[in-house]
Amino acid sequence: MKEIIAIIRRDKVPETKRVLEDIGYPSLTLQSVDGRGKQKGAMCAEMDSEMPESFCTGAKLKPTPSTYALEHTLPKVAIYVPKKMLTIMVPDELVPKIVEGIIRVNQTGKHGDGKIFVAPVEGAIRIRTGEENEEAIV
């Protein structure tokens, strides 16, 4: 049994849910998260390349300062990009198919496409029935 954590663009959630349903695995947990990668939160790196140049310079972006930034003098406020984080518990044999499906609908080739993490899960229990492990996650 594995836990798949996918951090994706917010606008890709409906397509991602659809592909998971098509695979036969619609169960997931969804959270709104903020984060940044190598681009350090540069929003324009994530935007479509067909946007006019003036859009990025004219956009009024509200930075979300980190706790560290609030407590220390920093030359620039750290900016975080809003994303969605999907958490899915799956049997081992479904991991490649689900990961491939998530990549297929989320890969744009631009910065900010997201990340997928796969981790082992020691056990699961469905509270309502007491079912354990793989019976509890399907």
Q: Is 62 a member of any domain?
A: no
Task: Write the secondary structure of the chain as one string of H (helix), E (strand) and C (coil).
Answer: CEEEEEEECHHHHHHHHHHHHHHCCCCCEEEEEEECCCCCCCHHHCCCCCCCHHHHHHCCCCCCCCHHHHHCCCCCCCCCEEEEEEEEEECHHHHHHHHHHHHHHHCCCCCCCCEEEEEECCCCECCCCCCECHHHHC
What is the domain extent for residue 121? 2-39+80-137
pLDDT tens per residue across all 138 residues of the chain? 999 999 999 999 999 999 999 999 889 999 999 988 876 656 554 444 444 455 454 444 555 566 666 676 666 666 788 999 999 999 999 999 999 999 999 999 988 899 999 999 999 999 999 999 989 987
Number of domains in the chain: 1
CATH number for the domain harbouring residue 97: 3.30.70.120
What is the pLDDT, as a whole number, of residue 36?
83
What is the pLDDT, as a whole number, of residue 38?
73
